[in-house]
Structure 1
Amino acid sequence: CFNAWLNMAGIVSLQDSAVERRDVSWTRPEAVTSISPHTLGQVSEAMVLDSQCGVLVHKRSLQNIPYRKVQQLFAKHIKAVGHKTLSPYFRDENIDFFYLSKSDVYLVAAHPAPDTDTAISVVVYLDFLHRLHDVLKDCIGTVNEPYVAVNRMLVFELLDKMLNAGYSVVSSYADMKANLTFEPIRPKIVPQDEIASRFFGIYTADKSRAHSGSSQSKHKSPNSVYLNIVEGLSAVLGPHGEVSSSELWGKLTLISTLERPLPILIQLSPDLVIRTSGTAQGQVAGATHIENPSFHPCVDTSQLGSNRLLRVFPPADQTRLMIYTLSDSACINIPVLVVPSLVPVDGSRDQNLHLRLINQAESHATASYIRVKVKLPHCVSSVATTKHGEQTAQSSNFVPAEKFVEWEVKRSEGGSEAAITFRLILNTDKSLELADIGPISVAFNLTNFSASGLVVKVARVEEHTDPTSPTHECYFGVSTKAASYTVRTDNTKESPLS
């Protein structure tokens, strides 16, 4: 653990022997005589926050601070003075905070403050955060919000290893890779000027759709409002579709091309239940839930609780109006299932790995470019593939050096199912079990679907009664993408993400 590393590394031992030089002898300052290896290096919580202090990844190690209190206090200080003014170490409500600001994320560590006469070493904690940043950069390539969000499960696992498994002295992902379950995902960042791509799930690689969508956007974009909800879904599923754990983050974004600034009224889901760490409100059956939302300063939330209404006076161009999370698996809709099965081949030692891809969303929702990656055991020497259904809509690939197969389905309508069979050609007579396969990672982008159920029902632009004023149009979009989506075949339960 982090404590064990401090004892082992000797950072706080500070032996009583003097450091001799030719003319000067060093003696221990009286202020550090109270530093104890037992208390100095403990980290109660570590987290990665986005630029608006929304939680991307949160690991609680010692469970000795109330849930979400660290995030709330840190957000209060950042919003009050900004990170350029806020000290990298501060204390509030008997909690010591240490943080680094990198790109558009904050790396934060916290621990209950010791007695006022007990010394602490800020350097030790900041060194831990620098090591964490080095490992993340080495692992996912770029330490920013999109890369952390798509690798949430991996980042959570890294935090767990560094806090609880003695890896806090490590500064390289290579030293930890063998002990990690998840692999890094390098997302493709969509260009910011492509409104159709960002708001309606149109892939730029699809030339005909992109051209058509962009023409429509250009025609309607003057004096218009584009509202979009994007959710990133992380889930760990069992081999039969059972949910071991799931959570999501979401954001409501607006693009305004109004000729002059005007207030905009946004009606959200009428059954919306908002849960925060400061309230005891539980789950409401059949309702839409979100947790701990935070809002842009241009958003008036005075009618949110009573009427589920937001009043926005947006600046020009793009604005992220709201970010939120949801960690209650019972309130999250799981749209895509991958169900694996392993069947022996008669008269052979080979095995058939059969994969079913099930889109559980409603028929109007469409999943695009679903990618299924299956880790195979070393006894698999080659793979033969049998595709079921439309051949042109799917492709597969076997990578012998890394022992995995990939299956890509270009399009999947809600309520549909696709299947593929991989014949695993084995180089051993040893029997192969389904638990030897995997984990299976899944990536997808699902348009017209919200895993939380949150949607924009109605939006309108407030304006004075003026017959000469132009008509304003409002367009809506909603999509869910796989942030970290894994199928485990060994029937083990994953730890919660915080």
Structure 2
Amino acid sequence: MISQFYILSLRGDTIITRDFRGDVVKGTAEIFFRKVKFWHGDAPPIFNLDGVTYVFIKKNGLYFVATTCHNISPAAVVELLTKMAKVFKDFCGMLNEESIRKNFVLVYELLDEMVDFGYPQTTNTEHLKSCIHNEAVVIEAPKLGLNLPQWNPRTVPSNAVHRPVGPTHDAKNKKNEIFVDILERISVLMSSNGFVINSAIDGSIQMKSYLMGNPELKLALNEDIVVKNMDLGGSHGGYGSVILDDCNFHECVDLQDFSDLRTLSFYPPDGEFAVMNYRITGDFRVPFRIFPFAEQQTPHKLEITIKVRADIPESNYGGNVQISCMIVRRDLSAHAAGIESYATNRHGDGSSNWSKFLAAAASIAQPLLLAMASCFAGLTWALLGLAAATESCSSTAGSLMLQARQGLHKHAMSEVVTASMGLWTDDASAFQGGSCEYASASQGGLHKYLESRAVCLANPVIYGNGVACGSCWKAQREGQGSMVVQIIGSHGGSNNLDCFFDAFSTITGADAGTFEVSLEPVECEVNGAGPVATVVDGDNAWYTRAIFSNLPHAVLAASISVDGKATEMRRISGATWEANLGG
């Protein structure tokens, strides 16, 4: 049995909460979020704190959390949360923060039917349809702005599957249809010369049914399919055969004709479900090949080049391709090359544009020396300017200097990219929840952009685990307005930026909705006081935590120097940095 259930956003906002038993203290949502946010590394899905067990899953930028003080099976709770998230997606159409907020009455009704006094009742979409009477508010899927070719004009767009299975306001326009999708995850280990060492495919045939009644369907597969370690008949691996290492089927599938005809018979349940899961290992044509090159130019400089080649037929194309590379923290520069034409044709929030911009920003980090008084007891360090001057206090022996490195965005200053913008909130108290932590009076204080409410939250692609904190962008909607906004936090939604109401209405000329805007990175305006570093935790000689504000650019790296001994600082989250001084 579970005691509490709640859904949290990435900012820690409680969207949905339900206390089933009243045997767990109040405020566990805030305790959970603080614990997960400041966990060293990734927090485990199950942990115990002060006698309360927290079990959570993370999907589409949302935390689904259950708490209990009883000794129950953690795996059963994880499975319950997973199925509850699936039910919410089936009835709301999409699973994101906006759809949950706009359908909160429907979500609470589903909760009451699925869990009673902490005991799970049913998570079957078909059974729940007869119990649910509230209509779903349909949320339009965001436009990615990708100008991809239409190879088959009869192919239904992927966002057509984001329709709720339950009753809606436009029920009269409901179509009798079913969607089939094949998802494959390819894992490949390559040598330095591009040869495949090990490879595997984990695939799934997924369906989402909007059929009326309960008709029987038959799905015909390749007749040359061979399944290892399973007595399912068929051929024995001739030329052109597809060899599956393992596979499993949904409980509704009848395998009577699978052995001879490779045909699956089933009565599709309502909602989304996986008809078949399979795994393939062995030789197959991988869509991409990676070629890394390393050259030691000097004893202290190593240049690494990573080339990616697409090995897909000309009749196919790759859409929404993202390439992520793990690089060392202290790299001097990073840039993307050879993707100019592809990025130009995207005209949207494709990762190529963002990846190239972020890489370019990192390539020209310029040191900015910030001198300050070395008083650990004083919680605010006033920056004396850009000169490398130091000052000492009578309460400490020696001097202290902090050095921050900012990205000047020179490579991207002339680039204007197209992005999607949505509404964040009109409640100024939400500033306190910004993951960059600028809004707290004890951690940087209110500055120009917070005072004028020209602030936005960025999605993970732009936010970059805090790299974008403090960066400014000129946002403009054609035919409407423009404004320079500053990034003060992150969100888990699909829009590139979600802006405060004042900024959103000025730029878009609207009160709600999602709009296409142009974004250009610019320098932030600073007040006359100059750069500010605020010590959040520094009343001992072993550990220091600080936050930077009132800077023209985002901070990419920082170091602290005490009596000439420099220590690199580490980004905790957002704009907050820490250093272990060692006494």
TM tier, smaller = 0.3 to 0.5
**TM-score normalised according to structure 2 size:** 0.31
**TM-score normalised according to structure 1 size:** 0.36
Rg comparison, structure with higher value: 2
For CA contacts below 8 A with separation 6 or more, give which structure has more relative contact order.
1
